[in-house]
Structure 1
């Protein structure tokens, strides 16, 4: 996260997900697991970095 902040004035990180991280679809277990992981990582990074981002 520190590297993102060092790189400049952009304060937005765009992360793409899909409905597969919310709803179970038949035959898409690997895809759903990956998208669910991206969703959770995004939430955790946001929670951990929120105090730092609010100072900016």
Structure 2
């Protein structure tokens, strides 16, 4: 999750790392039971960026 947090933080420097990290953990929790796990970090990052854009 550190990689996701760091990449999102580059795009949203005004948002605290802790907030981004908690969003990432929450979003990963939503999809962690998926059968296919290859793209979990990409999907998590996309979901966090989407939430922050609102």
Instruction: Compute the TM-score of the two structures, normalised by the length of structure 2.
Output: 0.34
Structure with bigger helix share is 2
Instruction: Compute the TM-score of the two structures, normalised by the length of structure 1.
Output: 0.33
Return the structure number with greater relative CO, CA threshold 8 A, min gap 6.
Answer: 2
